[in-house]
């Protein structure tokens, strides 16, 4: 799964404390092990986690194991990447997108 040390693995149990209570920008990758497009964007998520270490909290949430959180945020297709600022959803990207598309979203919300 996450090769980067800068990626947090979140679950239904700790999503609130790790993401929702966070006062900065967070990017959460909602994924599943069987999802091909999820595997396509995983390296981009890991690279961005390393590039924005200390500025952005990057997390991955396995939707099969954590259905409550996925349902809470209306995640119906994966991969879905949600961007949270001060605990509120401010943006989302659905589907396999190139790394620059995710990078642009981070830049937009860090500004």
User: Which residues are marked as active site?
Assistant: 35, 38
**8 Å CB contact between 103 and 110:** no
What single-letter DSSP state applies at residue 23? Answer: S
Three-state SS for 42-95 is HHHHHHHHHHCCCCEEEEEEECCCCHHHHHHCCCCCCCEEEEEECCEEEEEEEC
Tokens of residue 8, six digits: 């947090």
Q: HSE-up of 24 (CA within 13 Å, CB side)? A: 12
């Amino acid at each position: 799964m996450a090769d980067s040390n800068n990626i947090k693995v979140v679950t239904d149990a700790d999503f609130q404390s790790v993401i929702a209570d966070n006062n900065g920008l967070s990017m959460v990758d909602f994924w599943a092990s069987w999802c091909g497009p999820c595997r396509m964007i995983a390296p981009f998520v890991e690279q961005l986690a390393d590039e924005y270490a200390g500025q952005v909290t990057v997390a991955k949430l396995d939707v099969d194991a954590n259905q409550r959180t996925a349902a809470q945020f209306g995640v119906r297709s994966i991969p879905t990447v949600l961007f949270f600022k001060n605990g509120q959803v401010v943006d989302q990207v659905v589907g396999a997108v190139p790394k620059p598309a995710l990078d642009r979203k981070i830049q937009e919300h860090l500004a």
